[in-house]
A and B are shown apart, each in its own frame.
Chain A
């Protein structure tokens, strides 16, 4: 054992010697400097938004695919009138409850209307109802949540308000709003926004409460940074990963709430359609004509899944640790 160690140390010394003999001190310095310069080149270039997205597409194929699916769906919904020759609201009692066929890709409903066409047109309402109230309620929720988490004097007021909203069955609250304001799409936005903010506010508040105790927030305060700047520059970006997930989870919620409202007669008014309304109308025909139920449900499912995968991908791409 000892002889082995001796041999090893001898070999090491010989190696050092040969290096010493080969290089003059100047050459050594030059070599070291060269290595250091080479190392510096391996420092990654700063990431822009564009490179972040490109990386995400390369590394997370599902997220990229989801992005494409959402783009195609949005495109199809916007250009619905170019993609189908049927009128979404034209009743044709001769062709009622037909199964899927080349003429009617997704079959027809109980009034003989083409379901594929109605899905495309109904998507307009569903997409808007999914995205707009969610966006509005998240903006309100984030603001109120951060304020109640950071400014303790306002906490009780805001959080009790959120408790009140959450204590009601949300559908009842939405119905009250819809009855008072009248059943239009804009009012659906208002009603759903009024319900949705409370959940976001709670999540953001709890994040803020833990973030405000972090040392980097204290360091910012020691630098003389103002409250508002701390909230938006230091606390909000750290909440972002959860917010992206919350956003993708809230959209299907909003779509389904709209369906409930429509089912109760205070949401989208027939003959106009939305995905949720189509699903709830198909309920009575579920056994005899399942396509009426399956295809609109499938549309909701695909959109929700795509949104979730895309949200996950975005969250990972935005996380600086993920690089």
Chain B
């Protein structure tokens, strides 16, 4: 894809801990076109959030991006100085965090916080102009009586309203890319539906690309057009949501799909055996093989590459290796 807004190529993020190297993100490539919404799913600790943090330059101390490029509009973020990077952050790329309860400064009114974000990237704007613009955005994200809410402190707002404020803060500069790191995990389902609806609506109106990090496949099905499934720091399967939901290939994705509760079924809910491996002691060969119900001798020996069972649909699993895949299919 040449016209991609964001191109992450072979990104490696490593944490240099005392116990050894933790490759939290291990050769991840993700592409997002302008105006597209892309989902990234996986269990806790599979590197979804670390990908986002590397992208935003928010990695904490022992963590470092040590390989790969992140191209945004053709500019390489990893090669940029902190100053240039700050100009993009919040302005062209912005992020919504998981916890609306703690992501707002408790001693500043919400209006001032959003205004700060706006003034930061629009130096010539006057304070009253900025104020009016913030109130306008508050109305856009569905905050009732925006002018009065402008002067309220975060604790005076409900969780749903706070998440709307966070969205307002992220959208106030009309960014090209919005990273949403589990934006609805802390909210109840009715509010979740409202927030997703709002984000969808904003995305369509403003043409913002969205990178939706979640572990909720329902959210992905509803919101995204393309999907990346991550496991232990690697992309296991990627393709359009339609294709993946119709034709699940990777055993891990299959496990995730079967773990979604179903109202009709009377059976016990399926779960994937075992746990995410410790990132310090990754299994040799395929990372998923100890938990995989189809694993073969080969899986324990070498890492699978990315294979393409259908156009645009990539799978990291030997089951889909062309030709040679056929004979060893029946092996447990």
Could you tell me which A residues sit within 8 Å of B by CB distance?
40, 43, 45-46, 152, 214-216, 218-226, 229, 233-234, 237-238, 240, 320-321
Contact = CB atoms under 8 A, between A and B. Distances in A.
Contacts of A223: 89-90, 94, 116-117, 120, 169
A238 B86 contact: no
B329 interface: no
Nearest to A43: B148
B9 to A, nearest CB: 22
B298 interface: no
B109 A222 contact: no
A238 B58 contact: no
Interface stretch (B95-103, B228-236, B256-264, B274-282): B95-103
B245 to A, nearest CB: 31
A115 B61 CA distance: 61
Contacts of B121: 224
A43 B109 CA distance: 14
A237 B108 contact: yes
Contacts of B91: 224
Nearest to B145: A40
Contact of B116 (A214, A215, A218, A225): A225
Contacts of A238: 105-107
Interface in B116-158: 116-117, 120-121, 144-145, 148-149, 151-153, 155
B120 A225 contact: yes
B102 A215 contact: yes
Given A40-B148, A218-B58, A321 B87 contact: no
Interface of B: 56, 58, 61, 85-91, 94-95, 97, 99, 102-109, 116-117, 120-121, 144-145, 148-149, 151-153, 155, 166, 169
19 contacts: A40-B148, A45-B151, A46-B109, A215-B103, A216-B103, A216-B104, A216-B105, A216-B106, A219-B104, A220-B105, A222-B90, A223-B120, A224-B120, A224-B121, A225-B90, A233-B108, A234-B108, A237-B105, A240-B107
Given A40-B148, A43-B145, A222 B108 contact: no
A321 B120 CA distance: 27
A62 B112 CA distance: 33
A219 B85 CA distance: 15
Contact of A221 (B58, B61, B99, B169): B58
A179 B94 CA distance: 58
A223 B85 CA distance: 11
B120 A215 contact: no
B277 to A, nearest CB: 27
Contacts of A43: 145, 148-149, 152
Contacts of B86: 224-226
A40 B143 CA distance: 12
B127 to A, nearest CB: 14
Contact of B166 (A45, A219, A226, A237): A219
Contacts of A40: 144-145, 148
B56 A234 contact: no
Contacts of A224: 85-91, 120-121
Contacts of A219: 95, 97, 103-104, 166, 169
Contacts of A234: 105, 108
Contacts of A229: 116, 120
B153 A320 contact: yes
A229 B112 CA distance: 13
Contacts of B169: 219, 223
A240 B108 CA distance: 12
Contacts of B149: 43
A234 B120 CA distance: 14
B116 A222 contact: no
Contacts of A46: 109, 151
A219 B103 CA distance: 6
Contacts of B144: 40
Contact of A222 (B58, B99, B151): B58
Given A43-B145, A320-B106, 5 more contacts: A215-B103, A221-B58, A222-B58, A223-B116, A224-B90
